[in-house]
Amino acid sequence: MTTLPASQMNTTGRPRIRVMIVDDSAVIRGLVARWLTEAGEFDIVATASNGRLALEALDRHEPDIVLLDLDMPEMDGVDALPLLLRRRPQVKIIVVSTLTQRNAQISLKCLSLGAVDYLAKPEGQRQVAAVDEFRRDLVEKLKALSSRRRHLSSDAAPARSWRSAETRKSIGSRPECLLIGASTGGPRAVERVLLGLGPTIRRLPVLIVQHMPAMFTSVFAEHLRAQTGVTACEPSHGELLRPGTVFIAPGGRHMGLSVDRGYPAIRLDDGAPVNFCRPAVDVLFRDAAAAFGSAVLAVVLTGMGSDGTQGARLLAQAGATILAQDESTSIVWGMPGSIVKAGLAQDVLPLEAIGPALKNYIIGSSS
């Protein structure tokens, strides 16, 4: 274990974020420490080569964020994660692993155990583009988590339901599809929303854009199928929508909609990223506005950035119903916050209330 000196304030005068890096590779520890130090908002307060050493360092160095590798000797990340959270419940843990099917499954398990996010490590240092993307994602995720921590520790408002004066309306159209967009913190949030729907989930097709790598989305679909008991899958291009089926946008591909002989069908493409994302929520929302108009029920959950806002404008213009997760229950209030600030949400709700609210929209419109 290595302990590094830390200053107290960043260049903006705000408290710097304390980070501990846990990885059995000295090269990775060194690279990540250098990247975060150069970003100017973080102090690397400790590094550790396995989970046991991380536990020993936790109380002494009190990190705000822990970057936790999965495969390590003595104690791996899966075993260390619940112990770290038990000892310091407020710490934010990001799981970091190489991109394999096994690690995708383990990473999703870690999210259910309390990790807030995951990052896929590039296979080798020679993949320059992959390394650059990993560095950018790492810094952006930590900055997003840091901003939330500073805001909630100072002047965050309590959770409440909120209704936009610009978009307040009665719900007249029967929803014909449910759209969900999410990013950081999304896998757990999506699962809880779907479980909150109960049997109502079988009344209409559900289309989900969750920002995650390709191998993760297929595993995520398997996980949702096991948790909800309904069909959940990565769809094929041209596949027709079916009630009671959850369609997960494949990682690395946009998922939209087209109308084939009067029937809405899945449209997949490899177009350029939108809002730096592929798949992008904006693509799905835009196509759904054209295909379904006011018969869309959409929700934007936790995530950084503003993906979904432009598509939500088109949905709102078409008379669709849009809900957003509130700030206090979001891991990062970027995507839902952008929807709220743009005045596009009918309701802003804590996570546990979203599933029941969606169920009321679906059942109430058809009763």
326 belongs to the catalytic site: no
Task: Report the distance separating Cα 14 and Cα 365, nearest Å.
Answer: 48
Q: Helix (H, G, I), strand (E, B), or coil: what is residue 244?
A: coil
Specify the long-range contacts of residues 117-120, CB closer than 8 Å, at least 24 apart: 117/141, 117/145, 117/184, 117/185, 117/331, 118/94, 118/212, 118/216, 119/67, 119/94, 119/95, 120/213, 120/216
> What are the DSSP calls for 298-328, one per residue?
EEE-SBSS-TTHHHHHHHHHTT-EEEEE-TT
Q: 233's torsion region: left (phi>0), alpha (psi -120 to 50) or beta?
A: beta
CA distances for 105 relative to 94, 184, 189, angstroms:
15, 17, 17
**24 DSSP 8-state letter:** S
Task: Report the distance separating Cα 194 and Cα 40, nearest Å.
Answer: 39
CA-based nearest residue to 119, from 210, 183, 212: 212
Which is catalytic among the residues 23, 307, 326, 347? 307
6 backbone dihedrals φ, ψ, rounded to 5°: -135, 135
Which is catalytic among the residues 49, 107, 164, 183? 183
In 3-state terms the chain splits into helix, strand, coil percentages (rounded to 5) of 40, 25, 35
Please state the length of the chain: 367
Which is catalytic among the residues 23, 69, 117, 211? 211
211 belongs to the catalytic site: yes
146 belongs to the catalytic site: no
Active site amino acids: 183, 211, 307
